[in-house]
A = this chain, B = another copy of it.
Amino acid sequence: MYLRALTGLADDGTTTCSSEELAAAAGVNSAKLRKDLSHLGSYGTRGVGYDVEYLRYQIAREIGVTQDWPVVIVGIGNLGHALANYSGFRSRGFRVVALLDADPRRHTEVVAGLEVRSFDDLESIVAEHDVSIGVIATPAVAAQDVADRMVASGVTSILNFAPTVLSVPDGVDVRKVDLSIELQILAYHEQRKAVAPGSEVVS
């Protein structure tokens, strides 16, 4: 979040910022921001603030997005198309190297300059591009199988959009994005507003 906020500030031509300003841009408390940054090192100057470009680089380096990470997307349906076409990944340190789908009818398609390839090509693509991050955008029933194949072929980080719990071996990281749950959380608070007006805010 801080990286995103710093990029925004840099685009506006800001060269220096205080913890207060950056915290506002990132939507957090300034004390929390300073504590978070202090874990990376002492990159600010007391009485002055932080150098935007310098701090941006330091955070990018710490996260590991100074070079591009190759990524494969599996499941080029509605969501897969949107992800493949999204330009924001490229500018934030990721490069989509392959789009895979089990449905042969998809294999004639070209999305965002990449041809959709057979899911069977997974192993060779992962090996060739040294891919460690995979994105799953298949239906829920297929997700575990896809994850297993990914892990077997060498992927060690998975971003899962399918509404299922994936089980993976130790050492493999999974993050899930479940949009229905996000909406349900909003609905819950919405319902409570109707019953007891005021007082509730989402973190």
Residues of A within 8 A of B (CB): 1, 3-5, 25-27, 62-65, 69, 71, 78-79, 81-83, 85-86, 88-89, 92-94, 132-133, 156-159, 163, 165, 170-171, 173-175, 177-193, 198, 200-202
Contacts and interface: CB of A to CB of B under 8 A. Distances in A.
Contacts of A200: 173
Nearest to A158: B186
Contact of A193 (B3, B156, B165, B202): B156
Q: Which 4 A-B pairs have the closest CB atoms?
A: A64-B191, A27-B165, A157-B186, A78-B82
A173 B201 CA distance: 6
B157 A3 contact: no
**Number of copies of this chain that the complex holds:** 2
A65 B159 CA distance: 27
Contacts of A3: 184
29 contacts: A1-B181, A3-B184, A27-B165, A63-B188, A64-B187, A64-B190, A69-B190, A86-B179, A88-B180, A89-B183, A93-B183, A93-B184, A94-B187, A132-B190, A133-B183, A133-B187, A156-B190, A156-B193, A157-B189, A159-B183, A159-B186, A170-B201, A171-B198, A173-B186, A173-B190, A173-B201, A174-B202, A175-B182, A177-B179
A186 to B, nearest CB: 4
A70 to B, nearest CB: 11
Given A26-B165, A174-B202, A190-B173, A181 B4 contact: yes
